[in-house]
């Protein structure tokens, strides 16, 4: 059974910010990246444990998939079959520890 997907306000803000920033120089590239991230999240709903455990948290339910140069961080709830996208994090930023997720 596929997991349902929710997006946190932080993740939606991250997606909006990165697409807006890239669109300043290249609208087509921004649209492609935004769609690639959304499609990647949709694909993991069938295999939610495909992402690796986020090293900073070492918690089995907080995982990530990579869409270079971004880390898509999500949390699994096996009881409700829900996958919550928590953040979209650029690899060059500081580690997630100490930041809101």
- Distance of alpha carbon 42 from alpha carbon 9, whole angstroms: 17
Q: Is this model's pTM higher than 0.75 or not? A: yes
Please enumerate, as own/partner, the contacts of 57-60 that have beta carbons within 8 Å and a separation of 24 or more: 57/96, 57/97
Was domain 4-90 assigned CATH 3.30.2310.20?
Answer: yes
Residue 94's pLDDT is 63
**Per-residue pLDDT, 101:** 56
How confident is the prediction along the chain (101 residues), in pLDDT tens digits per residue?
799 999 999 999 999 999 999 999 999 999 999 999 999 999 999 999 999 999 888 899 999 999 999 999 999 999 999 999 999 998 877 666 555 55
């Amino acid at each position: 059974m596929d997991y349902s997907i929710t997006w946190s306000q932080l993740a939606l803000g991250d997606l909006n910010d990165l697409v807006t920033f890239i669109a300043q120089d290249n609208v087509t590239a921004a649209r492609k990246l935004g769609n690639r991230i959304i499609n990647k999240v949709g694909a993991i709903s069938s295999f939610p444990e495909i992402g690796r455990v986020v090293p900073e948290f070492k918690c089995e339910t907080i995982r990530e998939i990579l869409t270079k140069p971004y880390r898509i961080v999500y949390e699994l709830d096996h009881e409700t079959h829900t996958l919550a996208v928590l953040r979209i994090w650029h690899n060059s930023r500081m580690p997630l520890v100490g930041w809101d997720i």
